[in-house]
Chains A and B, each alone.
Chain A
Amino acid sequence: ELVLTQSPGTLSLSPGERATLSCRARQSVSSTYLAWYQQKPGQAPRLLIYGASNRATGIPDRFSGSGSGTDFTLTISRLEPEDFAVYYCQQYGSSLTFGGGTKVEIK
């Protein structure tokens, strides 16, 4: 099983600040199959980024994804109040796995 490790576990920031979330894999992941999701309390996850760097339909351009190989990053350039949530990375290789999540909370 390909393990994805997300860091930090919790990120405490203020609206308007920049958020940088990390997703690391124990072995190389194809960028094509690396995605990011946002989940708010009581809701299903929502696809944000696919193919490591492509925004899904309707996702604001303050969200961006980057990385390759074993290191991937989700960046939120300026946090809006609605961005405080939990974020998960996901990969598909021989199987499908999610990272443990990063909670972005209001400082």
Chain B
Amino acid sequence: QVQLQESGPGLVKPSGTLSLTCGVSGGSISRSNWWSWVRQPPGKGLEWIGEIYHSGSTNYNPSLKSRATISVDKSKNQFSLKLSSVTAADSAIYFCARVEDYYYTMDVWGQGITVTVSS
């Protein structure tokens, strides 16, 4: 079965760029799915960041669109998130997830990675 694993730095400096990768195992990223990033600030709810299709098509949360970039590397079976100009408000657990493409639900999730923005 498909499994997802987030990786990347756990600490990012203010005004810097947060960079995370989600490795996909047990299946191909080129299946007919979208692949998403979701974040959760400490003690708060879930916020969708955006998604990518294996073709490279992307959709973003309008509130983050100017700072977020999601890309895909089919050769490595992974997709990535870059979030620029980060502040303390971007500190959160970041999850990657597979989007089931008919009902548009996130049916497979990574375990999440905690990212703290601090100097």
Contact = CB atoms under 8 A, between A and B. Distances in A.
Interface of A: 1, 32-33, 35, 37, 39, 43-47, 50-51, 54, 56, 88, 90, 92, 95-101
Contacts, number: 63
Binding site secondary structure of chain B: strand
B109 to A, nearest CB: 4
Given A32-B103, A45-B109, A1 B62 contact: yes
Which 10 A-B residue pairings sit nearest by Cβ, starting from the closest? Answer: A92-B104, A44-B109, A35-B105, A50-B103, A98-B46, A50-B105, A96-B48, A101-B45, A51-B103, A100-B45
B105 A90 contact: yes
B61 interface: yes
Interface of B: 36, 38, 45-48, 51, 59, 61-63, 95, 97, 100, 102-107, 109-112
